Amino acid sequence: MSDETTTGQGEESFAALFEASQQESQGALKPGDKVKGRVISLDSNTVFVDVGDKRDGVVDRVELTDNEGNVTVKEGDELDLYVVNVGTGGIKLSKSLSGAGGVDMLRQAFETKLPVEGRVAGPCKGGFNVLVFGKRAFCPASQMDLRPGTDPAEHTNKHYSFAVIKFEERGRNVVVSRRALLEAEREEAQKEFEASIQPGTELEVTVTRLAQFGAFAELVPGVDGLIHVSELSWSRIDNPAAAVAVGDKVKVKVIEVGRDKKGRLKVSLSAKQAMPDPWTLAAGTFKEGETVTGKVVRLADFGAFVEIAPGIEGLVHVSEMSYVKRVVKPGDVVAVGEEVAAVIKEFDAERRRVGLSMRDAQGDPWAEVPQKYASGQEITGTVEKRESFGLFVNLEPGITGLLPKSNIKKSEKPAELEKLQPGDTVALLVENVDAAARRISLTPTDAREVQEVRERKEWKQHAPKQTATGEAAVTSLADLLAEAKKNKK
Determine how many CB atoms are found less than 10 A away from the CB of residue 383: 18
Give yes or no for a contact between 227 and 241, defined as CB atoms under 8 angstroms apart.
Answer: no
Predicted confidence (pLDDT) at residue 335 exceeds the cutoff of 80: yes
**CA–CA gap between residue 139 and residue 129 (Å, rounded):** 6
Give me the mean pLDDT over the 154-174 stretch. 86
393: pLDDT strictly greater than 70: yes
pLDDT for residue 19 is more than 50: no
How many whole angstroms separate alpha carbon 378 and alpha carbon 375?
9
- Measured distance CA(87)–CA(84) in Å, rounded: 10
**pTM for this one?**
0.50
Residues 220-275: tens digit of each pLDDT: 877 889 999 999 988 888 889 988 999 899 999 999 888 878 777 889 999 988 88
Asked if residues 162 and 119 have their Cβ atoms less than 8 Å apart, the reply is: no
% residues pLDDT > 90 (the chain): 18
pLDDT, tens digit, 9 for 90 and up, residues 59-106: 888 778 876 778 888 999 988 887 777 776 678 887 765 554 567 778
Domains of the chain, earliest start first: 17-94 (2.40.50.140), 102-184 (2.40.50.140), 197-274 (2.40.50.140), 278-362 (2.40.50.140), 365-445 (2.40.50.140), 450-488 (no CATH)
More confident residue, 190 or 464: 190
pLDDT at 11: 47
The answer to whether residue 359 scores a pLDDT higher than 60 is yes
The residue type at 104 = D
Q: Give residue 98's pLDDT.
A: 56
Higher pLDDT among residues 129 and 54, named by residue: 129
What does pLDDT average to over the chain?
Answer: 81
Q: Which runs of E-coded beta strand occur in 116-158? A: 116-124, 127-132, 135-140
What percentage of the chain has pLDDT greater than the value 70? 83
Looking at residue 272, the DSSP 8-state letter turns out to be G
Bin 52: left if φ > 0, else alpha if -120 < ψ < 50, else beta: left
